[in-house]
């Protein structure tokens, strides 16, 4: 194979991986923190605006200004965009890395193994999402669906302590952001 084919394969792999990785970083470090911004400082007495102790899973003393139902809907709208574009870029990167690895001249085994590893890492997001992130994603989708239907969310009332169903929506979004960054 010509040197141009190798260059194109490498450039496409780097570009697709960068777009995919950049989008994931943006979700975890820009989108989630932005929708979870607290409201302006309260003018209420200290007891009324004190630490958030309502959530056993809360890692924040401030609550987001946006209602939990709307937070879930915002997350789902963004997730739906990502689930369409993400696999395209992950598979494009995977194919580019494999193509480049297979077209390298004989004797470049180390480079071929590194490109094969890049290919594996590019596509590994799919099983990670469907296994490790599944319960968190499912719970956020359920909450967004309930909010869209105008239903009151009572499911977490009977949930087992410590499960994602017991998390408040803002805590669940922080959990999702951390998993998404992995």
| Residue 126 vs residues 72, 79, 174: alpha-carbon distances, Å | 22, 14, 20
Cα 165 to Cα 159: distance, rounded to the nearest angstrom: 6
List per-residue pLDDT tens for the chain, 182 residues long. Answer: 567 888 888 898 899 999 999 998 999 999 999 988 887 776 666 555 455 544 444 445 567 888 888 899 999 999 999 888 988 999 999 999 999 999 988 888 899 999 999 999 988 988 898 899 999 999 999 999 888 888 766 666 566 666 777 788 888 999 999 998 88
Contact 71, 169 (CB under 8 A): yes
Residue 107 forms part of a structural domain: yes
Cross-strand partners of 36: none
DSSP 13-65: HHHHHHHHHHHHHHIIIIIHHHHT-B-SPP-S-TTTTS---S-TT---SS-BS
- C-beta neighbour count of 57 within 10 angstroms: 16
How many residues belong to the chain?
182
Instruction: Name the pTM for this structure.
Output: 0.76
Cα 137 to Cα 134: distance, rounded to the nearest angstrom: 5
Residue 46 forms part of a structural domain: no
Cα 56 to Cα 52: distance, rounded to the nearest angstrom: 9
Residue 77 forms part of a structural domain: yes
In eight-state DSSP terms, residue 153 is -
pLDDT at 151: 74
Residue 28 forms part of a structural domain: yes
Residue 44 forms part of a structural domain: no
Residue 45 forms part of a structural domain: no
Query: Domains in the chain: how many in total?
Result: 1
Residue 8 forms part of a structural domain: yes
In eight-state DSSP terms, residue 155 is G
Residue 159 forms part of a structural domain: yes
The domain in which residue 143 lies consists of 3-37+51-181
């Amino acid at each position: 194979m010509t040197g141009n084919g190798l260059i194109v394969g490498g450039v496409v792999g780097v570009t697709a991986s960068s777009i995919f990785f950049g989008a994931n970083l943006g979700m975890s470090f820009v989108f989630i923190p932005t929708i979870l911004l607290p409201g302006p400082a309260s003018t209420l007495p200290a007891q009324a605006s004190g630490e958030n102790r309502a959530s056993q899973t809360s890692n924040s003393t401030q609550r987001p200004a946006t209602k939990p139902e709307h937070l879930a809907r915002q997350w789902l709208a963004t997730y739906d965009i990502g689930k369409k574009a993400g696999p395209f870029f992950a598979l494009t990167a995977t194919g580019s890395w494999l193509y480049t690895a297979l077209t390298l001249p004989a004797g470049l085994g180390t480079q071929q193994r590194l490109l094969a590893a890049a290919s594996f890492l590019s596509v590994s997001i799919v099983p990670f999402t469907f296994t490790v992130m599944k319960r968190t994603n499912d719970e956020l989708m359920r909450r967004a669906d309930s909010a869209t239907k105008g239903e009151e969310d009572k499911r977490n009332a009977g949930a087992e302590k410590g499960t994602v169903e017991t998390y408040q929506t803002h805590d669940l979004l922080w959990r999702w952001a951390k998993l998404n960054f992995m």
